Amino acid sequence: MYASPEQLSAASKASVDAFVGLASTQFAAFERLTALSFNAGKSAFEDSIGLTRSLMGAKDVQEVVNLNAAAAQPSIDKALAYSRGVYEVSTQTQGEVTKLVEAQAAEMNKNMVSLLDKFAKNAPAGSDVAVAAVKSALAAANTAYDSLSKVAKQANEIAEANFTAAANAANGKRKAA
């Protein structure tokens, strides 16, 4: 019934591997977001320099108005592209983290059931009821987790549909103008 040093070592290694996987996922997401933000900032800076140079060369007020109007739409498109990029990074990262958490939860459940089975074999007479109750509670917890996971996935799908609809509406307004 006691854990052997090999079992403890394996459990420790699995925990460290899970932590490293989660940390790697988060650092990769941070790297992608940083690159996305840097590129958006650089592009905005270059666009503003170009617009300033164009405005400095404008001959009359109408040309200034036309230059400002012409610069607005690319800025909106770039802001939408940036938002889309941030959204893609966050949904991809969420998916990766969810996979890691689900794998850990599955492993933990497997280990718990194995431990309960070992306990049941060595348990005193009459403890079957307690073991069955713990297994039932574990099954109920798994069912609740599955339900919450499905709700989270549905919420994510709704958010993605709303984001897509908003982006399409913004593009539709741009094309109509």
Q: Identify the pLDDT of residue 159.
A: 78
Instruction: Indicate the angle between helix axes 61-122 and 5-56, nearest 10 degrees.
Output: 170
Q: Identify the pLDDT of residue 49.
A: 95
Of 18-27, 92-101, 141-150, 167-176, the one with minimum mean pLDDT is 167-176
Per-residue pLDDT, averaged over 69-95, amounts to 90
The amino acid occupying position 130 is A
In the predicted model, what is the mean pLDDT of the chain?
A: 84
Q: Identify the pLDDT of residue 175.
A: 60
Closest alpha carbon to 142 in 171, 100, 113, 120:
113
Residues 6+ apart with CB under 8 A from 64: 55, 58
Does the pLDDT value for residue 163 go beyond 70? yes
Q: Identify the pLDDT of residue 113.
A: 79
Closest alpha carbon to 2 in 131, 128, 115, 125:
115
Q: Identify the pLDDT of residue 111.
A: 79
Q: Identify the pLDDT of residue 171.
A: 67
The percent of residues in the chain predicted with pLDDT above 90, rounded, is 32
Express each pLDDT in 6-30 by its tens digit: 877 877 888 888 889 989 999 999 9
Q: Identify the pLDDT of residue 32.
A: 96
Express each pLDDT in 26-68 by its tens digit: 999 999 999 999 999 999 999 999 999 999 998 999 999 999 9
Q: What is the DSSP string of 16-30?
A: HHHHHHHHHHHHHHH
